[in-house]
Amino acid sequence: MSSTQHNDHPAQASGALRILGWFAFIALLIAAAVYLWFQSDSAPNLAWMAWTKPTAIFFITIVCLLLAMSIWEAFSPGGGPRVGILRFETTRGDRLFLSLLGSGFIHLAWLGFVGPDLWKALGVSVVYALLVFTLV
C-alpha cells in the first residue's frame, strides 16, 4: 500500500465514526450501570480479590469493549484497515489497543500530576480514543 493512500469513501468513514460513537456510548452506559450496581446493597462481595469498585468497573468496561469489537468484527469482517497519521496500516483492533494503552498512560499521568480524582482523566481518555479511531 502506498503511504499517500487515504480514505476515498467519506460515507464509509462517517458510518464507522457513527458506529464507534454508538459503541462508546453503550460502553459508557454499561460502565455507569455497573458503577451504580456496585453502589447498591446487592453488589457482589469482591473482598476476596482485594479489588476496589473502580478496578472492577475498569475490567468490566474492558470486557464490554472487547465484546463490542467482536460483534463489530462479526458484522463487518476485516478490521477496517487503513493508513492514518502514523503512516502504517492499522485495524480496528490496533486502534482499540492504542486507545487503551494511551488511556492508561493518561490516567497514570493524571494521578501523578493532578491527583486521585480521575473523572476528568476519563473524559480526556474518551476524547483521545475518538481521535485515535478517527486519525490513526
> Does 1 map to a domain?
no
pLDDT of the residue at 125: 92
> Does 5 map to a domain?
no
> Does 70 map to a domain?
yes
Q: Are 84 and 135 in contact (CB under 8 A)?
A: yes
Total domain count, the chain: 1
Q: Rounded to whole angstroms, how far apart are CA atoms 87 and 5?
A: 9
> Does 108 map to a domain?
yes
Q: Are 65 and 27 in contact (CB under 8 A)?
A: yes
> Does 92 map to a domain?
yes
pLDDT of the residue at 16: 65
CA 52-126-80 angle, to 5 degrees, is: 115
pLDDT of the residue at 11: 54
Encode the chain (136 residues) as per-residue pLDDT tens digits.
Answer: 444 445 555 555 566 667 777 777 887 788 778 777 777 777 666 666 666 777 777 788 888 888 888 878 877 788 778 898 989 899 988 999 999 999 999 999 999 999 888 889 989 999 999 999 899 8
> Does 52 map to a domain?
yes
Q: Are 99 and 107 in contact (CB under 8 A)?
A: no
> Does 2 map to a domain?
no
> Does 18 map to a domain?
yes
Show the cell assigned to 53: 469498585
Determine the structural domain holding residue 73 and report its residue range.
10-135
